[in-house]
């Protein structure tokens, strides 16, 4: 083959190769989260809370955290220690406690299959901590250089557990970083 033809031809072949490689990746990515899309959930979203009892009993002092943000064993521990709940006392009737334990465990991270839940479980390696804000995956996501130093200590934020302060869509289980807004 003459050089004048060979090099342009190689260039075209390489370009085609690269573009199919990238679209392969996109396809795989899309396929993996298609089931999530089918449920109307974004990539960085977990199913929102629908249980009215949970909203009422566990949404009084902080947002009612989506069950898919912790493994079932963590919810078990939390619901088993309500008289000493992070320095507060949470009083629930045995009936409410039973119903909530059931709701939280059936909708826990293991049952979701969502991206965030799978990442959380993987980062835990079997552990069952009590705080979402201290999960290795969540800590890692908040180590970004774009987050100004001291952001979590700001009065407008209050604590790392106050997801809503920076994720205005946290109530819908939507944590996509495109929607983040850190308050002053």
Which residues in this chain contact ligand HEC in the complex, by CB under 6 A? Answer: 44, 57-58, 60-62, 65, 69, 78, 85-86, 88, 90, 100, 116, 131-133, 138, 141-142, 144, 146-147, 151-152, 157, 159-163, 165-167, 175-177, 180, 182
Q: How far apart are CA 182 and CA 184, in angstroms?
A: 7
Longest Cα–Cα distance of the chain, Å, equals: 85
CB of 168 to ligand HEC, least distance (A): 11
Based on CB atoms, which residue is closest to ligand HEC, 13 or 81? 81
Q: How far apart are CA 108 and CA 140, in angstroms?
A: 21
Nearest residue to 109 via CA among 123, 95, 90, 98? 123
Q: In this structure, how many other beta carbons lie within 10 angstroms of the beta carbon of residue 133?
A: 16
Based on CB atoms, which residue is closest to ligand HEC, 19 or 159? 159
Based on CB atoms, which residue is closest to ligand HEC, 3 or 50? 50
CB of 24 to ligand HEC, least distance (A): 23
CA Rg, the chain, in Å? 22
CB of 130 to ligand HEC, least distance (A): 6
CB of 125 to ligand HEC, least distance (A): 18
How far CA 116 is from CA of 1, 33, 143, 181, in Å, comes to: 53, 11, 16, 19
Based on CB atoms, which residue is closest to ligand HEC, 19 or 98? 98
């Amino acid at each position: 083959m003459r050089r004048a033809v060979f090099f342009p031809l190689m260039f075209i072949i390489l370009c085609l190769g690269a573009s199919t490689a990238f679209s392969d990746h996109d396809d795989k990515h899309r396929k993996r989260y298609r089931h999530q899309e089918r449920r109307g959930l974004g990539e960085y979203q977990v199913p929102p809370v629908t249980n009215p009892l949970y909203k009422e009993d566990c949404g009084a002092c902080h947002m009612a955290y989506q069950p898919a943000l912790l493994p079932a064993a963590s919810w078990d521990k939390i619901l088993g220690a309500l008289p000493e709940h992070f320095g507060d006392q949470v009083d629930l009737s045995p009936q409410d406690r039973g119903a909530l334990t059931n709701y939280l465990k059936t909708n826990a991270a293991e049952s979701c299959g969502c991206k965030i839940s799978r990442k959380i479980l993987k980062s835990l390696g079997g552990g069952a901590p009590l705080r979402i804000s201290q999960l290795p995956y969540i800590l890692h996501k908040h180590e970004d250089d774009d987050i100004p130093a001291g952001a979590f200590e700001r009065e407008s934020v209050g604590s790392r557990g106050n997801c809503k302060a920076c994720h205005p869509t946290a109530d819908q289980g939507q944590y996509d970083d495109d929607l983040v807004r850190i308050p002053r």
